Amino acid sequence: MNFYETLKLCNSFRVNAAKINNIKNWKPCNIAIISTFLKSNNIKHDDFKMLVSRNTYLENIGFYEALWDIPRTHRQTGECAACSPLTLFDPCGGLDQATETINSYLKNNINDYKLLGSLTNVVGELHDNVCSHGKTFGFSMAQVREDAAEFCIADLGGGFLKVLNKAGVPGINSDSDAIKWCLRRNNTSTSYEPQEDPWVQSLPSDFSGVNPMGRYASYSSGDNHMGVGLAELFDLHSEYDGSVLNIASGETAVEFRNGRETNTRRGIDWKGVAIDLVLPLSLHLPEDQKQHFMLSDDISEILNLIN
């Protein structure tokens, strides 16, 4: 089941849920999107298990634990060790842990250090995007296969069009317009939003409860998001031949291959954002990176001797 088919499944979940039983090769796009849909629609475990058979693979990656707090009886082994755990995060917690979990898995499974550095940076930015713009929870997951690395992240926080229209960005009339606008470097909705008065009194970022100063003091979450993640995502995708990037928001899903739009499909209903990036992967470390790696080890050994 591919990215678009997974989104379509969620459109009529109770009708299509049995199709989940037929998924043989689970991918991050299947799991992150379905998990986000289930949590957003408050679908209980009792209702889910009436439609979908218990799945050991989903249990091992923490699917039931993340959605319904059902402890895992098994941990990742064999096939499951080839993917990261499913991560759940929101603006109130779990953001740094989600980024660390995904990136730790990638670092243990990718030996192309140039690709790894760019990908781990994009992972952190995309996690920030969900909390900064969607202001909601999200799910993410990564998988490294023999020939490719895949990362998927999904939320149902309103979507690009809603965020851009609210910010007053001109010329954005459709979900497709919004997706393409967000991918361009130097485009960020925050430049259109009202800026905070630097002189206004403010409460600490960790304050909770009722503001005791009313309109005389503001509250800030302390978010320092820079808004460059989507441009970096597209740059990374465009750099590698054979790379595939799928982005869905609202009624539209757009597919890019090698930096070019290859397919735009409508007919979905995803009130948020879903992003799936697949990068081709070489199992052999390039010679220049081998030298860099050896140099890094030499430097570490020297530093250890000095200390």
Per-residue pLDDT of the chain (307 residues; tens, 9 = 90+): 999 999 999 998 878 888 888 888 899 999 999 999 999 999 999 999 888 888 888 998 999 999 999 988 766 655 556 799 999 998 777 889 999 999 999 999 999 999 999 999 999 999 998 877 657 899 999 999 989 999 999 999 999 999 999 989 999 999 999 999 999 988 876 655 544 444 445 445 444 444 455 444 433 333 334 345 799 999 999 999 999 999 999 999 999 999 999 999 999 999 999 999 999 987 444 444 444 444 444 444 544 555 4
Closest CA to 149 of 96, 112, 97: 112
pTM equals: 0.81
Q: Which residues contact 133 (CB under 8 A, 6 or more apart)?
A: 157, 163, 189
Burial zone of 86 (CB within 10 Å; 0-12 exposed, 13-18 middle, 19+ buried)? buried
HSE, CB side, 13 Å, CA atoms: give it for residue 111.
13
Q: Which residues contact 33 (CB under 8 A, 6 or more apart)?
A: 3, 6, 7, 10, 152, 154, 274
Name all domains of the chain by residue range, CATH numbers in brackets: 3-189+222-306 (3.30.565.10)
